[in-house]
C-alpha cells in the first residue's frame, strides 16, 4: 500500500468534525478503496480551545489557514470554513499555487471565484473537487461533469437547499412557525453560518450557478439568477396550495431558451403526487432534462454533517487514487478558458401558470377589477375563489390560478388591480412549475 495521503483540514464545524469522525470510523475501508490511508495531519479553525467533540490527536494545529494550505506537511487541502472571500479564497489559492490538490464544500466561494480557481487548478494540473458544494450527499457534480458528457442539457432544476425544504415541510406537517422550523434546522447543522443565505435563496442560487455552468458550458454567473426566498411563505399559502393540488417548494431552475439561460430561484408550486413534491425534510433533489438520456432525477440528503462529509471523503479518495503526472479532467466539465459568457434570458419573458393570493377590499367591483385587469393582459384564469371575509382585517381573501402567461403580463395585471385600489397589502404570487 502507498504512503498515507496527508490532509490539511481548515474548518472544524459541522462538516469538518463529521469528516474527522468519518475518516476515523471508515479508515480501513477507505484505505482499501483509495489504495492508501487517508490521514488528517494538520488542522485549523478560529478557536483552538473549543471542544470539537472529536479526537484531534496527532493533528497539528496551524494558526493560519493560508499557512496550512501551503504547508509542506500536507498533500491535499480541504477547505470547510465557508465564506465567499478570504480566508477561503486566499487559502484555496495558496494551496493550488503550492501544488496541492483541493477539496471544498464551499458553494459561495465557487459561485464567485470558481472560474478563476478552475483556471488555476487546470494550469497547475491539479484537482479542485467540490462534490459536497451542491446538494450535500447527492453525487450530482460527477454525474453532470462526467456521466452526462454526451448530452445537450435543456433544463436542470431541483430542491437545492435542505434548510428551506426542512422548513417548508415542517410548516406543512407540524403547522409550526417559520422561526421555530429555522431554529431546528440550525440546531441540526443544516443551515449556513448566516442562515439568511438559506432562507433568502442565495445558497440555492450559488448551487444553481454551478449546475448551470456544468449544464450549459457557460461561466458561473450567480448575479444572473432571479432570486426570491421563502420568508414570505405562510402556512395559509401552504394550505391554499394543498387545497388546489399543489405543494410549495423552493426551486432552483436553469433553462436553456432561445433568448439565453433563464435562471431563477423562488418558491414554486409543484403538483401533489409528482416526484419532486414528495421530497420532504432536508432531502434535496436534482433533475436534469437532456437530449440523449431524457429525464433523470437524483435525490438524497442535501445537508448535515454526515451526508456532506460523505461527499467530501469521496473527493479526497479520488485524489488519493490519482497519480502524479496524470492529466486531470477540467474542473467545470470543460477547460475554464473555453466556457462561454453567460447570456441571461430576462425574467419578464418567463412563461408559466401563477398562483395569486390577494387580500382585497370587500366591496362591489373587486372581482370585476380583477377580471378586467387579467383580461387586459390576455391572462386566462383556471380558477378563482373568494374565501370568507376575515373578521380581524375585514379583507376578502381571493385566490386565483392562471393558465400559462408571462411574468410581464402577470406583474402588469397585479399593478392594475393595485392601482384600482382593490388590494390590502401586497399580493402573494407563486409560480407554478411545469414538470415534464
Q: Site residues (CB under 6 A) for ligand HSE?
A: 136, 161-163, 190-192, 198, 203, 302-303
Phi, psi of 330 (to 5 degrees): -65, 150
From the list 12-20, 95-103, 213-221, 291-299, the region that binds ligand NAP by CB under 6 A is: 12-20
Task: Choose, by CB under 6 A, the member of 16, 37, 229, 333 that binds ligand NAP.
Answer: 16
- C-alpha 141/C-alpha 331 separation (Å) is 10
Q: How far is the CB of 404 from ligand NAP (least distance, A)?
A: 35
Q: 275 is in the binding site of which of ligand NAP, ligand HSE, none (Cβ under 5 to 8 A by kind)?
A: none
Task: Choose, by CB under 6 A, the member of 82, 252, 353, 397 that binds ligand NAP.
Answer: 82
In 10 A of CB 153, how many CB atoms? 22
Cell numbers that stand for 79 in this block: 477547505
Phi, psi of 135 (to 5 degrees): 65, 35
What is the three-class DSSP state of 226? strand
Q: What x/- string results for residues 277 through 306 when contact with ligand NAP is judged by CB under 6 A? A: --------------------------xx--
Q: 406 is in the binding site of which of ligand NAP, ligand HSE, none (Cβ under 5 to 8 A by kind)?
A: none
Q: Which is nearer to ligand NAP, 159 or 429 (CB)?
A: 159
Contacts of 383 (CB under 8 A, 6+ apart): 244, 400, 401
The catalytic residue among 70, 100, 107, 207 is: 207
Q: How far is the CB of 76 from ligand NAP (least distance, A)?
A: 16
Q: Which is nearer to ligand HSE, 196 or 295 (CB)?
A: 196
**Cis-peptide, bond into residue 381, ω within 30° of zero:** no
What is the three-class DSSP state of 162? helix
The residue of the chain with the least Cβ separation from ligand NAP equals 13
Q: Which is nearer to ligand HSE, 40 or 303 (CB)?
A: 303
Q: 139 is in the binding site of which of ligand NAP, ligand HSE, none (Cβ under 5 to 8 A by kind)?
A: none
Q: Annotate 25-42 with DSSP letters as a single string.
A: HTHHHHHHHHSS-EEEEE
Q: How far is the CB of 161 from ligand HSE (least distance, A)?
A: 4
Q: Measured at the alpha carbon of residue 291, what is the angle toward residues 290 and 292, in degrees to the nearest 5? A: 100
Beta strands 76-79 and 153-159, pairing class: unpaired
What is the three-class DSSP state of 144? helix
Q: 163 is in the binding site of which of ligand HSE, ligand NAP, none (Cβ under 5 to 8 A by kind)?
A: ligand HSE
Q: How far is the CB of 385 from ligand HSE (least distance, A)?
A: 34
Q: Which of 156, 143, 83 is nearest to 113 (CA)?
A: 83
Q: 403 is in the binding site of which of ligand HSE, ligand NAP, none (Cβ under 5 to 8 A by kind)?
A: none
What is the three-class DSSP state of 68? helix
Q: How far is the CB of 330 from ligand HSE (least distance, A)?
A: 23
Please, which of residues 122-141 interact with ligand NAP by CB under 6 A?
A: 132, 136
Q: How far is the CB of 304 from ligand HSE (least distance, A)?
A: 8
Q: Which is nearer to ligand NAP, 260 or 304 (CB)?
A: 304
Please, which of residues 106-125 interact with ligand NAP by CB under 6 A?
A: 106
Cell numbers that stand for 361 in this block: 377590499
Task: Choose, by CB under 6 A, the member of 93, 308, 406, 428 that binds ligand NAP.
Answer: 308
CA distances (Å), origin 213, targets 156, 170, 191, 336:
11, 32, 24, 10
Q: Verify binding: residue 230, ligand NAP, rule CB under 6 A.
A: no
48 annotated active-site: no
3 φψ region: left (φ > 0), alpha (ψ -120 to 50), beta (else) = beta
Q: 35 is in the binding site of which of ligand NAP, ligand HSE, none (Cβ under 5 to 8 A by kind)?
A: none
Q: Which is nearer to ligand NAP, 260 or 281 (CB)?
A: 281
Q: What x/- string results for residues 33 through 52 when contact with ligand NAP is judged by CB under 6 A? A: -----------xxxx--x--
Q: How many residues does the chain have?
A: 436
Q: Annotate 177-217 with DSSP letters as a single string.
A: -HHHHHHHHHHTT-S-SSTHHHHTSHHHHHHHHHHHHHHHT
Listed as own residue / partner, the contacts of 116-119 with beta carbons closer than 8 Å and 24 or more positions apart are: 116/336, 117/92, 117/93, 117/331, 118/330, 118/331, 118/332, 118/336, 119/336, 119/337
What is the three-class DSSP state of 381? strand
Q: How far is the CB of 223 from ligand NAP (least distance, A)?
A: 19
Q: Which is nearer to ligand HSE, 163 or 360 (CB)?
A: 163
Q: Which is nearer to ligand HSE, 210 or 317 (CB)?
A: 210
Residue ranges binding ligand NAP (CB under 6 A): 11-16, 44-47, 50, 65, 80-82, 87, 105-106, 132, 136, 189-190, 192-193, 303-304, 308
Catalytic residues: 207
Amino acid at each position: 500500500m502507498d504512503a498515507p495521503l496527508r490532509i490539511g483540514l481548515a474548518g472544524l464545524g459541522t462538516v469538518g468534525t463529521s469528516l474527522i469522525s468519518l475518516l476515523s470510523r471508515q479508515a480501513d475501508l477507505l484505505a482499501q478503496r483509495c489504495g492508501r490511508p487517508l490521514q488528517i495531519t494538520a488542522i485549523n479553525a478560529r478557536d483552538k480551545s473549543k471542544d470539537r467533540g472529536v479526537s484531534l490527536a496527532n493533528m497539528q494545529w496551524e494558526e493560519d489557514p493560508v499557512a496550512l494550505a501551503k504547508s509542506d506537511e500536507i498533500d491535499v487541502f480541504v477547505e470547510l470554513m465557508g465564506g465567499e472571500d478570504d480566508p477561503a479564497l486566499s487559502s484555496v489559492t495558496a494551496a493550488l499555487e503550492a501544488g496541492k490538490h483541493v477539496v471544498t464544500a464551499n458553494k459561495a466561494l465557487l459561485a464567485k471565484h470558481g472560474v478563476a480557481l478552475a483556471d488555476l487548478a487546470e494550469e497547475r494540473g491539479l484537482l479542485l473537487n467540490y462534490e459536497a458544494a451542491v446538494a450535500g450527499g447527492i453525487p450530482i457534480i460527477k454525474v453532470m461533469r462526467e456521466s452526462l458528457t454526451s448530452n445537450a442539457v435543456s433544463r436542470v432544476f431541483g430542491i437545492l437547499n435542505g434548510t428551506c425544504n426542512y422548513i417548508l415541510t415542517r410548516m406543512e406537517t407540524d403547522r409550526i412557525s417559520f422561526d421555530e422550523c429555522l431554529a431546528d434546522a440550525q440546531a441540526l447543522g443544516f443551515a449556513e453560518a448566516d442562515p439568511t443565505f438559506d432562507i433568502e435563496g442565495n445558497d440555492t442560487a450559488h448551487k444553481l450557478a454551478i449546475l448551470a455552468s456544468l449544464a450549459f458550458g457557460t461561466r458561473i454567473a450567480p448575479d444572473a439568477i432571479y432570486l426570491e426566498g421563502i420568508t414570505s411563505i405562510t402556512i395559509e399559502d401552504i394550505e391554499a396550495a394543498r387545497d388546489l393540488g399543489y405543494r410549495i417548494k423552493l426551486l432552483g431552475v436553469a433553462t436553456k431558451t432561445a433568448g439565453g439561460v433563464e435562471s431563477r430561484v423562488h418558491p414554486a408550486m409543484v403538483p401533489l403526487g409528482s416526484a419532486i413534491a414528495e421530497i420532504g425534510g432536508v432531502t434535496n433533489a436534482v433533475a436534469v432534462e437532456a437530449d440523449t438520456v431524457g429525464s433523470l432525477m437524483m435525490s438524497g440528503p442535501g445537508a448535515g454533517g454526515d451526508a456532506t462529509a460523505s461527499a467530501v471523503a469521496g473527493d479526497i479518495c479520488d485524489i488519493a487514487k490519482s497519480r502524479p503526472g496524470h492529466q486531470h479532467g477540467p474542473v467545470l466539465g470543460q477547460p475554464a478558458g473555453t466556457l462561454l459568457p453567460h447570456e441571461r434570458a430576462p425574467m419578464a419573458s418567463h412563461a408559466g401558470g401563477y398562483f395569486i393570493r390577494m387580500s382585497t377590499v370587500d366591496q362591489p367591483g373587486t372581482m370585476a377589477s380583477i377580471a378586467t385587469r387579467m383580461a387586459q393582459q390576455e391572462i386566462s384564469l383556471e380558477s378563482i375563489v373568494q374565501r370568507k371575509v376575515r373578521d380581524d382585517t375585514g379583507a376578502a381573501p381571493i385566490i386565483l390560478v392562471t393558465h400559462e402567461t408571462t411574468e410581464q403580463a402577470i406583474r402588469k395585471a397585479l399593478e392594475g388591480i393595485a392601482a384600482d385600489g382593490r388590494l390590502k397589502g401586497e399580493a402573494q404570487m407563486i409560480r407554478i412549475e411545469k414538470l415534464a
